[in-house]
C-alpha cells in the first residue's frame, strides 16, 4: 500500500507543464465546441477523442523536447534559427486569435456566473474574473502559479462525473467510440474541423515549449537533459493529453446523450449548454457543468495570455518570465494585462463570444499547419536538438497531424469562400 502511495506521489510530482497544457485546452471555448458537436450529432463524434489524442501528444512532446533542449520557448527558437518573416507572420496571426479566445472565455465565465447568481450581471462577473486573474498572475511567483494551475486541472474531473448522472446506453457509447462515423455533409465536416482546431491549437505549442524551459530553470540538479528527465517529460505530456481528450470525450457524451436525445440540437455558447442540462439531467449535473466552466476559464486564461506574452517578448528580445517580478519584466506583464483587457472589451465593441470563437478558429486553423511543419523541422534538426531528434513514431504521428491539419485548413478556406 505504501509502495503504491509513493508511486502515486512521485507521479503527481512529475506532472506539470504537460498536464496544465492539456487541461487548458478544455477551456470554455473548447467546451462550447464539444457541446455543439454532441448536441448536433449525438454520439457520432465520440471517436474523435481517441484519434486526436496520439496526434496531440506527439506534437506537444516535440514542443516540450524543444523547450528542454534549447532552454527557450518556441518563439525564441524560431528567432534564433529561422527567418524573421516566419516569426512575425506567426505573431501577426497569434495576437488577434489569442485575444479573441480570451474574450470568448471571459464572456463564457461571466455568463455562467450570472446563471448561478442571477442577481449579479454577467458583466460584473467578467470584470471580477479579469481583475482577479491579472492580480494573481502579476503577484504570484512562478512556482505558485504552476502549482495553482496544476490543482485547477482537478476541476475538469467534474466532466467525468456529469454523464453518470443521466441514464446512458453504454452499448451505443462503445459503438460510437470505436467505430468511426463519417457524414459527407457541410455541417458534419465543419464540426470535425472545429474539433481538430480546438484540440490542436497553436497557443498550446508555444506554452508547452516555454513552460518546459521555465521548469528547467527551476531545477537544482540534473541541469543537463538526461534520459530520466526526458522520460518524466513524456509521462507528463502523455497523461496531460490523455486527460484533455478524456474530458473532451465526456463533454461530447453529456451533450450527445442529454441534449441531442431531447432534440436540443443547436448550442452556441457554454451557458446555453449548462442551462439546457438543468431540466433534463438534474440540478447536480447543471451545477457541476457550470462550475467546471468557471474553473477551466481560470486555468486557461493565464495560459492563453501567458502564451501571447512569451511569443511577443521572445520575438523582440524583451525580458520575460512568470518567474520574474513585475519590475523585472514590465513589458511581459503589461502584454498580459493588455490581452486580458482587450479580451474583456470584445463584447463592448460589437464582437460577440460566438464571433470571437469563429475568428480565432479561422486564425488558429491557418497557422497550425505552418507551425506544425516548423516544429517537425526543428525537432529533426541535429544542429538544434543534438541527439534528441525525433524517432520514427514521432515523425509518423507528426506528419499525419500535419496532413490532417493542412486538410482542415483547406476545408476551412473553402467554406469561407463558398
Q: What is the pLDDT of residues 33-67, one digit of tens each?
A: 898 899 999 999 999 998 999 999 999 999 999 99
Model confidence at 144: pLDDT above 90: no
Mean pLDDT of 255-271: 84
Q: Report whether 37 contacts 194 (CB < 8 A).
A: yes
pTM as predicted? 0.90
d(CA 398, CA 200): 12
CATH class of the structural domain 2-417: mainly alpha
- b/e sequence 175-188, b meaning 16+ C-beta within 10 Å: ebbeeeeeeeeeeb
What pLDDT score does 220 carry?
55
Mean pLDDT of 115-144: 89
What pLDDT score does 391 carry?
92
* Lowest-pLDDT choice from 283-297, 312-326, 382-396: 283-297
Q: What is the pLDDT of residues 58-88, one digit of tens each?
A: 999 999 999 999 988 899 898 888 888 888 8
Cell, residue 60? 506537444
Q: What is the pLDDT of residues 129-140, one digit of tens each?
A: 999 999 989 888
| 5 — pLDDT class (breaks 50, 70, 90) | low
d(CA 56, CA 397): 9
d(CA 266, CA 330): 44
Model confidence at 221: pLDDT above 50: no
Q: Report whether 319 contacts 332 (CB < 8 A).
A: yes
Mean pLDDT of 239-261: 91
Mean pLDDT value across the chain: 86
Model confidence at 181: pLDDT above 90: no
Crossing angle between the packed helical segments 202-218 and 283-316, to the nearest 10 degrees? 70
**Given the C-alpha cell 540534473, which residue does it identify?**
222
Q: Which residue has the higher pLDDT, 397 or 295?
A: 397
Closest C-alpha among 10, 417, 14, 6 to residue 215? 14
DSSP per residue over 244-287, as a string? Answer: HHHHHHHHHHHIIIIIGGGT-----SHHHHHHHHHHHH-HHHHH
Please list the alpha-helical segments (H only) found in 282-391. Answer: 283-316, 330-345, 353-379, 382-385
d(CA 340, CA 43): 35
Cell, residue 43? 454520439
Question: If 0-12 CB within 10 Å is exposed, 13-18 middle and 19+ buried, where does residue 7 land?
Answer: exposed
- For the beta carbon of residue 319, count every other beta carbon within 10 angstroms: 11
Model confidence at 370: pLDDT above 80: yes
| 259 — pLDDT class (breaks 50, 70, 90) | confident
d(CA 108, CA 115): 11
DSSP state at residue 15: -
Amino acid at each position: 500500500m505504501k509502495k503504491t502511495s509513493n508511486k502515486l506521489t512521485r507521479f503527481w510530482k512529475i506532472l506539470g507543464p504537460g498536464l496544465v497544457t492539456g487541461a487548458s485546452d478544455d477551456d470554455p471555448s473548447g467546451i462550447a465546441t464539444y457541446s455543439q458537436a454532441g448536441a448536433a450529432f449525438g454520439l457520432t463524434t465520440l471517436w474523435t477523442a481517441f484519434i486526436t489524442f496520439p496526434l496531440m501528444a506527439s506534437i506537444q512532446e516535440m514542443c516540450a523536447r524543444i523547450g528542454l533542449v534549447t532552454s527557450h520557448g518556441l518563439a525564441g527558437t524560431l528567432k534564433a534559427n529561422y527567418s524573421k518573416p516566419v516569426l512575425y507572420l506567426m505573431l501577426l496571426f497569434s495576437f488577434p486569435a489569442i485575444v479573441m479566445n480570451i474574450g470568448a472565455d471571459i464572456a463564457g465565465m461571466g455568463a455562467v456566473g450570472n446563471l448561478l447568481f442571477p442577481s449579479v450581471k454577467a458583466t460584473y462577473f467578467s470584470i471580477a474574473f479579469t481583475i482577479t486573474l491579472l492580480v494573481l498572475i502579476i503577484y504570484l511567483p512562478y512556482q505558485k502559479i504552476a502549482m495553482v494551475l496544476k490543482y485547477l486541472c482537478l476541476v475538469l474531473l467534474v466532466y467525468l462525473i456529469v454523464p453518470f448522472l443521466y441514464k446512458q446506453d453504454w452499448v451505443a457509447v462503445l459503438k460510437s467510440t470505436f467505430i468511426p462515423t463519417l457524414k459527407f455533409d457541410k455541417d458534419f465536416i465543419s464540426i470535425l474541423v472545429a474539433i481538430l482546431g480546438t484540440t490542436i491549437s497553436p497557443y498550446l505549442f508555444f506554452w508547452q515549449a516555454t513552460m518546459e524551459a521555465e521548469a528547467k530553470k527551476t531545477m537544482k540538479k540534473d541541469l543537463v537533459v538526461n534520459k530520466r528527465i526526458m522520460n518524466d517529460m513524456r509521462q507528463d505530456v502523455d497523461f496531460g493529453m490523455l486527460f484533455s481528450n478524456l474530458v473532451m470525450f465526456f463533454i461530447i457524451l453529456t451533450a450527445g446523450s442529454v441534449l441531442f436525445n431531447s432534440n436540443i440540437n443547436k448550442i452556441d455558447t457554454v451557458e446555453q449548454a449548462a442551462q439546457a442540462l438543468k431540466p433534463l439531467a438534474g440540478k447536480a449535473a447543471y451545477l457541476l457543468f457550470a462550475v467546471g466552466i468557471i474553473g477551466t476559464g481560470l486555468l486557461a486564461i493565464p495560459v492563453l495570455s501567458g502564451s501571447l506574452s512569451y511569443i511577443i517578448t521572445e520575438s523582440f528580445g524583451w525580458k520575460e518570465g512568470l518567474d520574474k517580478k513585475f519590475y523585472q519584466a514590465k513589458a511581459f506583464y503589461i502584454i498580459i494585462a493588455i490581452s486580458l483587457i482587450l479580451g474583456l472589451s470584445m463584447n463592448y465593441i460589437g464582437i460577440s463570444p460566438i464571433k470571437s470563437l469563429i475568428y480565432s478558429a479561422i486564425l488558429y486553423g491557418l497557422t497550425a499547419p505552418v507551425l506544425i511543419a516548423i516544429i517537425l523541422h526543428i525537432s529533426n534538426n541535429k544542429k538544434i536538438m543534438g541527439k534528441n531528434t525525433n524517432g520514427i513514431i514521432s515523425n509518423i504521428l507528426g506528419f499525419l497531424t500535419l496532413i490532417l491539419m493542412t486538410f482542415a485548413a483547406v476545408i476551412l478556406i473553402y467554406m469561407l469562400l463558398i
